C-alpha cells in the first residue's frame, strides 16, 4: 500500500513533545488506515481529520499498548516516517497523567523513581507501624497490635485524600477531552468494556502482541484480569469487614468461612499471580514500545501491588505466631504506600481509562 506523502504533517519533523509527536503519527495512521479494525483507537482516529490536544489525550488513554499496530505497520523504522504508535501514545498517556496529577510533580517523581520510592515508603511505614505496635493494644487479634481507633485515624485520610486528588485529575481530563454529561448508557458500555478488557485482545479476539512480537497471546489480558478482579475482591473484603464491624457490631478477627476471608483470600491469590505474570511479560516485551523513561514507575507499581496481596496472605497464614507483628507492619505499610501513591502511580490509569471509555461511548453514540 502506498501512502500519499502530501500529508498535513511533515513525516520527517519528529517532535520531542509527546502530544505533538503523537499527533504527527496519528495523522499518518489516519491517511493509511491499514489498522482500522485493530482496537477502539483506530475507529476513533478515522472520525476526525484534525486532532486537537484533547483528542490526542483521549486517544492515548484509549490505547492499551497491545502493540499489534506496530508489528503490522509498514512505516516503522527504517522508513522515513519512523512510526512507533504504541510508544508515542504511551508517552502522551503518561504525560497526561503527570499533567493532571495533584499536587503536581509527584506523578513524574514516582514514574521515574518508582521502585526506590515504593521500597522507601513501605519500609518507612512498616517501621512506623512496628513502633505503634509496641504500645498497648485495645482488642483481640490484630487489634492487640494496632488498635482499631489508630487504624481508622491513619487509613481513613490515606484513603480519602488520594480519592480527592484523583477526582481533581479526572476533572481536568474530562475538560481537556471535551467530555459531555455522563449517561447511564455511557457508563454501562464503559464498564462492560473494562470488565472484559476487550481491547487487550487487540480488538480482534485473537490476543495481543505485547510479549510475543508478531505472535498473538492472551497472557497479558489474563494477567490484567487476575489483577483487576483480585483487587476488587480485596476491596470487597475490606468493605465487608467494615459493614460487619459498624452495622452488625462484629469486629475482627474473622474466621475463614466469614465473608471478608472468603473474598480476601482468593483476591490476594489473584493479585499475586497477576502481578507475577505481568512482571514476567514485561521482561519479555520490547522496552522501545512503551513510555520512555517510565519503566521504573511501572515495575514499582506492580511490585507494590503484588507485595500488598502477598503480605496479606502471609499475615493470615502466620497469624498468632511470633511473626504476626512484623507481618502486620509490612502489610499495613504496603497498603498505606499503595493508597498514598494511587494518584501518582499506574494505579491511576484505571480511573483515566474508564473515563476514556465513557468518553468514547459518548462520541460513538453522538456520531451514530
Buried b (16+ CB within 10 A) or exposed e, 73-104: bebeeeeebebbbbbbbbbbbbbbbbbbbbee
pLDDT at 166 over 80: yes
Whole-number mean pLDDT of the chain?
88
Instruction: Note the pLDDT of residue 28.
Output: 94
Residue reference for cell 511479560: 281
| H or E element that contains 266 | helix 259-284
pLDDT at 3 over 60: no
- The C-alpha atoms of residue 176 and residue 97 are separated, in whole angstroms, by 12
Q: How many CA atoms lie within 13 A of 247 on its CB side?
A: 6
- The C-alpha atoms of residue 275 and residue 306 are separated, in whole angstroms, by 5
pLDDT at 4 over 60: no
Instruction: Note the pLDDT of residue 104.
Output: 82
pLDDT at 142 over 90: no
Q: Mean pLDDT over residues 134-144, rounded?
A: 64
Which one is predicted more confidently, 1 or 168?
168
Which one is predicted more confidently, 204 or 155?
155
- Give residue-wise pLDDT tens across range 106-118: 888 888 888 999 9
Amino acid at each position: 500500500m502506498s501512502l500519499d506523502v502530501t500529508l498535513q504533517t511533515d513525516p520527517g519533523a519528529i517532535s520531542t513533545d509527546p502530544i505533538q509527536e503523537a499527533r504527527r503519527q496519528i495523522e499518518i495512521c489516519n491517511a493509511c488506515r491499514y489498522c482500522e479494525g485493530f482496537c477502539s483507537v483506530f475507529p476513533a482516529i478515522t472520525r476526525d481529520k484534525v486532532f486537537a490536544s484533547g483528542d490526542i489525550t483521549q486517544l492515548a488513554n484509549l490505547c492499551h499498548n497491545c502493540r499489534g499496530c506496530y508489528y503490522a505497520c509498514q512505516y516503522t523504522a527504517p522508513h522515513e516516517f519512523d512510526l512507533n504508535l504504541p510508544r508515542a501514545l504511551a508517552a502522551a498517556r503518561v504525560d497526561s497523567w503527570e499533567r493532571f496529577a495533584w499536587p503536581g510533580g509527584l506523578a513524574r517523581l514516582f514514574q521515574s523513581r518508582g521502585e526506590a520510592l515504593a521500597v522507601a515508603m513501605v519500609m518507612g511505614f512498616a517501621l512506623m507501624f512496628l513502633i505503634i505496635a509496641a504500645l498497648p493494644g485495645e482488642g483481640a487479634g490484630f487489634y492487640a497490635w494496632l488498635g482499631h481507633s489508630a487504624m481508622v485515624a491513619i487509613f481513613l485520610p490515606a484513603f480519602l485524600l488520594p480519592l480527592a486528588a484523583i477526582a481533581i485529575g479526572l476533572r481536568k481530563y474530562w475538560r481537556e477531552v471535551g467530555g459531555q454529561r455522563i449517561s447511564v448508557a455511557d457508563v454501562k458500555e464503559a464498564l462492560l468494556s473494562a470488565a472484559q478488557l476487550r481491547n487487550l485482545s487487540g480488538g480482534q479476539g485473537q490476543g495481543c502482541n505485547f510479549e510475543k512480537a508478531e505472535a498473538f497471546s492472551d497472557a497479558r489480558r489474563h494477567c490484567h484480569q487476575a489483577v483487576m478482579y483480585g483487587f476488587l475482591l480485596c476491596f470487597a473484603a475490606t468493605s465487608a469487614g467494615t459493614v460487619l464491624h459498624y452495622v452488625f457490631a462484629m469486629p475482627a478477627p474473622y474466621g475463614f468461612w466469614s465473608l471478608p476471608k472468603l473474598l480476601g483470600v482468593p483476591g490476594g491469590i489473584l493479585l499475586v499471580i497477576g502481578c507475577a505474570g505481568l512482571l514476567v511479560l514485561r521482561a519479555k516485551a520490547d522496552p522501545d514500545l512503551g513510555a520512555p523513561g517510565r519503566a521504573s514507575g511501572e515495575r514499582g507499581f506492580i511490585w507494590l501491588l503484588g507485595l500488598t496481596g502477598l503480605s496479606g496472605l502471609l499475615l493470615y497464614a502466620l497469624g498468632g505466631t511470633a511473626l504476626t507483628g512484623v507481618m502486620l507492619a509490612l502489610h499495613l505499610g504496603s497498603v498505606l504506600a499503595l493508597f498514598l501513591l494511587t494518584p501518582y502511580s499506574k494505579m491511576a490509569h484505571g480511573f483515566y481509562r474508564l473515563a476514556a471509555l465513557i468518553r468514547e461511548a459518548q462520541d460513538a453514540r453522538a456520531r451514530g
